[in-house]
Chains A and B, each alone.
Chain A
């Protein structure tokens, strides 16, 4: 789900940048540092605006200036049980298909749908090129297909998050 959060971030600036447009530089650095990252619980999708930039404080020893920036950002926190249908107008996109299941990307979140969580009538067909899951009718899951999935579990590591998803329910797939 998407949220707007008020967050703070410490930005350090090299002395060579001290000058009139310092605040712009701080904002720019903030965007570079923060946007698109994963904190372990949510992804920071975009920064809306900076609310406040504190006065710079020179760090003893290095001479860098440290600014505390308050900003508002749109964040995305995938929840267990959430259906990813509305993510950026797109569903998850399948990246790789194999006998055990398929992998997909929902924006920054890589997820895996195991064959146990795929409806039983959709079977893996290794003879097709490229390999695909299909029920031999209208639905075919191959690389590049958009799927609507429901998150079953998520796990966060320092640099990213991973999720297990299911399409074994009505209106999924």
Chain B
């Protein structure tokens, strides 16, 4: 350690005496140098100014050593005059204090927090890297850390391994605390018995107070093929666990996954030791260099600085709708909307309505979410439970800067899961759907049942839990490929580095041993962060992709646009929507899916053009502008998002033919444009999960896809045609029935009216796109209906807040929908009065509507 004199001395100084010779040992605070300096002192009578004068004084001072050690070299001689701060002596320290435990030096046992007048700085600063899995109190210095790391690297190279950091939740296992699972397990007659048979469980008792969630069972489902996967991967990789769960949780999982501690050993790091609640970082485990580290995780966003080392895994979602129990406080996962076909129940759909509130039904979207919240409170409609979870999670995302709230957040989440038991409800829902309407039930019950039957998927599936996940097989292939590529490159470099004769004499991997200890061998180690992306890039290389209907709009944008739609005329709104969509597309570039696609070598574009090779469209929004534009270019393959997902999962370009989106012939011919958005589409809002088998052209308008619809009316070449042509075939009787029902019956649940309003909106839009052109008789009826629906809707909007508040605390109400509805509306009325000032215009319309409904 080289010491310098320090800036605080009164230069120039003269070195008087050097007290320690080279080789002498010095103690902390011991005098090693004597120097003199001169300064001016004011002397004389301090009371009168003219009796004072300045006199030069010479003072002898000492310089004390701030460290223990021995003098290695002096850089000055006695008698030298020094004019400025300079390094003057090199001291070999007795102890570099490079390992510190709780403020104690791990090597000499000295207290590092002690400060004295002689010390040069805080000694604890000298070792501050935390690189041990299970301890936060132990810190090491940079040198120590890189030394340890080099050792690890050598060892790994010797064994031809890499490091693999493994996430737990939804990557290799799926956990939930839903008690229903336990019941299913003990009941062989349950339809889910087969699926949950292998679910393991444990209790966390040592986890501190948890409210309702304390002492509950954690049910752990291992991803299919996990054992084999880990066993074979462990031969190529040294495995580390890095989870956002608590330590106790992580250890329990490790016990299940790896009972002999053969795979993970003690290399487990949890959020207790992570030091950051929202992000994981390789630097926590590999502070100096991450060249040989691969990560597998189901979330890319928690690895902000280590994206290149990451293999993103398709999340394992065994307990449908549960999500990740340990990341309820993380920002919501950005995900592709799930394709409906293979999915269960209405989950994917409700999820989408909650997370893709779209531009056009912006006023309706919050209401939808709220509607789902209300559903939540009535367990009989539990099929939609996941929506609230999404909301809760989204809320968690908003709070993410309030780290201290996260635990509470999670607790809430867990409690909710225990109370609401979403799985149970889903199963009930499903069974109800299957048994069709039961005649004996009361009117409300019937209604509810009807709703339930709308939701289930077409193939009668008898259980909601399915165990058909083959992600690990692909993952294993990828990891093997990465490992191979890494060592191929390493061997290649090794041969080059040692060149010629030696390389010929010894095969690559033996040599590593021979040059062990040589620094050079670590420098030629290739970087996984370079090798792996190169592999991935081959996957979609040459593909130029445009995405359509996959990326949800940002909430802020939504609001902005919303204010426009309500204030300005519709045509303006369309223009506006064009602008907003551009902004949205900018957003797309930063969105998870685009980043991912790019990491696989694809080029993501905003606009459809000739250069595009693939258009990735959402399965349930197949009639967006982009799709129609793309349909005009024969070279563009229009595929659904599964193509992208599967390609990225398998690291191989999938055959597009299996994923082609059915494009109606109308769309192939540009002139025929927008015509077929017809009857079915209007109804599709709630039943879209039913209709996967119906050709895409006829079911475009799901309630979540309206931004695309807005987009859809932009192109000029479509304008000459009226969508109302289709309305001729519309079943007006049905509408009338609905309308009558809606207006007349109080027992109708508000959900229906909400839906009604959305439909109304939609009709309004499809019609407005060429306003005033057609004076069909049906139009006026439609307008009328639309107006009613709209006004009804705005009325609902005004009671939004009280509804969500009042309905949430009543989860126990099962059959009494009527009551709930009445409660809601009465409270809503009260609140309307309160909010009168702001809501005047809307209230007026509300009254109008009420008058009408009284008449009907």
Q: Which residues of A contact B (CB under 8 A)?
A: 80, 96-101, 103, 112, 114, 116-117, 126-127, 129-131, 151-155, 157, 162-164, 166
Contacts and interface: CB of A to CB of B under 8 A. Distances in A.
B101 interface: yes
A125 B107 CA distance: 20
A153 B105 contact: yes
B104 A162 contact: yes
B261 A100 contact: no
Given A103-B135, A130-B261, A130-B265, A117 B102 contact: no
A100 B103 CA distance: 16
A116 B135 contact: no
Contacts of A154: 104, 109
A104 to B, nearest CB: 11
B155 interface: yes
Contacts of B101: 112, 114, 162, 164
Residue picked from A96, A100, A117, most chain B C-beta under 10 Å: A100
B110 A100 contact: no
A114 B140 CA distance: 11
Contacts of A117: 106-107
Nearest to A128: B265
B746 interface: no
21 contacts: A96-B266, A98-B132, A98-B133, A99-B151, A100-B106, A100-B132, A112-B138, A116-B106, A126-B152, A129-B261, A129-B262, A129-B265, A131-B266, A152-B109, A153-B111, A154-B109, A155-B104, A162-B101, A163-B109, A164-B104, A164-B108
Contacts, number: 84
A100 B262 CA distance: 21
B655 interface: no
B109 A153 contact: yes
B102 A155 contact: yes
Contacts of A97: 266
Interface in B140-167: 140, 144, 148, 151-152, 155, 159
B834 interface: no
B134 interface: yes
Contacts of A153: 104-105, 108-111
Contacts of A99: 148, 151-152
Nearest to A114: B106
B701 interface: no
Given A114-B106, A162-B101, 8 more contacts: A96-B135, A99-B148, A100-B138, A100-B144, A100-B148, A112-B106, A114-B107, A164-B107
B260 interface: yes
A62 B674 CA distance: 81
Given A96-B266, A100-B138, A151 B148 contact: no
Nearest to A160: B102
Shortest beta-carbon contacts, A-B, top 5: A153-B109, A152-B109, A114-B106, A162-B102, A112-B101
Given A129-B262, A155-B111, A101 B102 contact: no
Contacts of B134: 96, 98
Contacts of A103: 135, 138
A165 B56 CA distance: 55
B330 interface: no
B261 A116 contact: no
Nearest to B133: A98
Contacts of B140: 100
Nearest to B103: A155
Contacts of A100: 99, 106, 132, 138, 140, 144, 148
Interface in B257-279: 260-262, 265-266
A45 to B, nearest CB: 22
Nearest to B99: A114
Nearest to B140: A100
Interface string B823-836: 00000000000000
A135 B90 CA distance: 37
A145 to B, nearest CB: 14
A155 B106 CA distance: 12
A151 B106 CA distance: 11
B138 A80 contact: no
A119 B144 CA distance: 18
Given A129-B265, A151-B109, A116 B104 contact: no
A44 to B, nearest CB: 21
A58 to B, nearest CB: 34
Given A98-B132, A130-B261, A80 B103 contact: no
A99 B152 CA distance: 9
Nearest to A150: B109
Contacts of B108: 152-153, 164
A117 B261 CA distance: 28
A97 B266 CA distance: 9
Contacts of B265: 129-131
